[in-house]
Structure 1
Amino acid sequence: MDHAAAAAALSDHFPQRIVCLTEEPTEVLYALGEERRIVGISGFTVRPPRARREKPKVSAFTSAKIGEILKLAPDLAIGFSDIQADIARELVKAGVEVWISNHRSVDGILAYIRRLGALVGAHEKAEAYALRAERHLAEIRAAAARLPRRPQVYFEEWDEPIITGIRWVAEIIGIAGGDDCFPELAREPLAKQRILPNGDEVVRRAPDIILGSWCGKRFRPEKVAARPGWDTIPAVRHGDLHEIKSPIILQPGPAALFDGLDEIHRIITEWALR
């Protein structure tokens, strides 16, 4: 048996029918060339675009079509975080094997890529992909170090109530050349722990750049700028309010390490060189 045939035979020992309850496992499996294993995806999936055309959509983030998932006869379901605990429990009760990852950092995303690759028997491809991501992080970090100044950056995940950015977002801002305005809140894993009672503390911390990604709805910079007292914030005075599309920053997967990081670095670079 030649090497290719042996590898194909070995891959049959790994999950063949995977349901991805969030976007990041879909993106990783496509990137590794293992998309044939996916039988169902999240309705929020936009990366890669072909996944939406090729795979049935069977879940949202906090709910799922359990009956539809079971009809697909999955041998593994992959989800993310405590928010999907109820979906996981229903699937486990129905006899489905479930992996819920709970990573919240850049290192966690890199480890996730490697673990997911190992789960499907694609360790070498996953290692190569993770190393590519690490090289990209290093390149952006080096470019950021050459910038003449670092901005204070306020990242807003939701507007009512105001929710600040999660840990991997704060770390990506740091790699891109800025400093997150709420580092102490970024360490909190749950969104409810990152709620601000009002906008006063943002005014006090005076960010140079405001980034918004309102988790599935369009960021409205004019609404943010009109908040009481926010006209004194440097970012508002100079018009430095920018939307980061949620699929490239709010998913703890490759999109954040590549497109999300690149977009934030571009915004910071323009500010720093102005």
Structure 2
Amino acid sequence: MSDAMCHAAAKRDSVVRKLVRAVAVVLMLASACGTSDETAHAHRRIVSLSPTGTEILFAIGAGDRVVAVDEYSYYPDDAPVTDLSGWNPNVEAIASFDPDLVVMEAGGGVADNLESLGIEVLVHQAPTTFDDVYAQIAQFGEALGLIGEADRLAAQMRSRIAELVATAPDVTGLSYYHELDDTLYTVTSGTFIGHVYSLFGLANVADPADSGGTASGYPQLSDEFLLDADPDIIFLADTLCCAQDADTVAARPGWDQLTAVQSGRIVELNDDVVSRWGPRLVDFVEAIAESLVTMSADS
């Protein structure tokens, strides 16, 4: 073969190799794009049995994928509320919505049964710290291909909460009582709700009532205990469930002697906002901060 022929053959081979590499790159990119799109749209029919989970789904932009939610997931307003129970989940009822993902706060046998039907389950537990909250939001983002949206939500929450705490008045040392219901169940500082109050330096009067090896974080107090503890502030998280307000508290036998009652430091909270740790955690922190600002101005 002449030099000219050899040169031509080598040039042809070089062109072929370049074409092969180009095709390979195109196929690789197409594959990557397909994988990304598949991840982003992997779950198109979501059933949520968790009010907090429902709020997170809508906040990160997955609301249009939610086909059914439990009876207590009535926020946001456009959540598709059904009579599904998050407390006693029924596998057949859930499966009737043909979901490809079920979000719930407790797994166990129900989760196993759903997975045996080929339905993916995302289980999340009540958090104990703010980092747990942000980790759960990230978990939702990863599962739904909405990582960027989840990261932005967490960043916005972090920033707003830090701002609220930084600008709140110094109330370090003031004591408080947080009421879950009118039978005097409450929370301690070891719970997530208690952690929120700790951000402001408030001291929880319920902590001594829940010590030892049987501590649950949610003790039931007595009238005598509270009258003796005499909290500076009372936060009511039973305004919706139990119709409690400043007047009903003041009317309780002996409670008119409490410092919080006499000083008018009774804060009426929204039960739902306080009990959920999703995006509206910011609203909970804001409600506390605003109440402290008002108290500081009145004192």
Mark yes or no: TM-score above 0.5: yes
Distance of aligned partners of 1:168 and 1:192 in 2 relative to their CA distance in 1, 3 Å threshold: closer
Q: CA RMSD in A?
A: 3.1
Q: Structure 1 residues 197 and 249, CA, compared in 2 at 3 Å: closer, same or farther? A: closer
Change (3 A) 1:185 1:201: closer
State the shift of 1:65 in Å.
Answer: 4.8
Q: Which runs of 5+ in 2 are unaligned?
A: 1-28
Aligned residue type for 1:100: V
Question: Which residue pairs with 2:20 in the alignment?
Answer: none
Q: Which has the larger radius of gyration?
A: 2
Q: 1:170 to 1:103 in 2, by over 3 A?
A: same
Contact 1:163 1:191 in 2 (8 A): no
Corresponding residue pairs, total: 264
1:163 matched residue in structure 2: 185
Per-residue deviation, 1:217: 3.7
- Which residue of structure 2 aligns with residue 180 of structure 1? 204
Aligned mate of 1:240, from 265, 275, 289: 265
Classify the secondary structure of the residue corresponding to 2:78: helix
> What is aligned with 2:66?
38
User: Which of 118, 121, 140 is equivalent to 1:116?
Assistant: 140
- TM-score, normalised by the number of residues in structure 2: 0.76
1:263 maps to which residue?
287
Distance 1:120 1:46 in 2: 21
Change in Cα spacing, 1:16 to 1:58, as seen in structure 2 (3 Å) is farther
Bigger shift: residues 94-103 or 263-272: 94-103
Indicate conservation of the 8 Å contact 1:211/1:241, yes or no: yes
Which residue of structure 2 aligns with residue 97 of structure 1? Answer: 120
| Aligned pair partner of 1:205 in 218, 223, 229 | 229
The amino acid of 1:96's aligned partner reads: I
How far apart, CA to CA, are the structure 2 residues paired with 1:164 and 1:223? 17
Higher relative contact order (CA closer than 8 Å, sequence separation 6+): 1
User: Aligned pair 1:142/2:166, yes or no?
Assistant: yes
State how far apart, in whole Å, the 2-side matches of 1:90 and 1:200 are.
47
1: CA distance, partners of 2:142 / 2:216: 33
1:17 — aligned with what? 45
Kindly tell me: are residues 165 and 228 of structure 1, through their superposed partners in 2, closer, same or farther at Cα, counting changes over 3 Å? same
The alpha carbon displacement at 1:86 in A equals 6.6
In 2, Cα distance between the equivalents of 1:159 and 1:111?
A: 33
TM value normalised by structure 1? 0.82
Contact 1:177 1:268 in 2 (8 A): no
Structure that is richer in strand per residue: 1
1:68 is aligned with what amino acid? A
Q: Alpha carbons of 1:61 and 1:68: their partners in 2 closer, same or farther (altered >3 Å)?
A: closer
Equivalent residues in 2 for 1:185-200, closer than 5 Å: 194-200=218-224
User: Which amino acid is 2:174 matched to?
Assistant: P
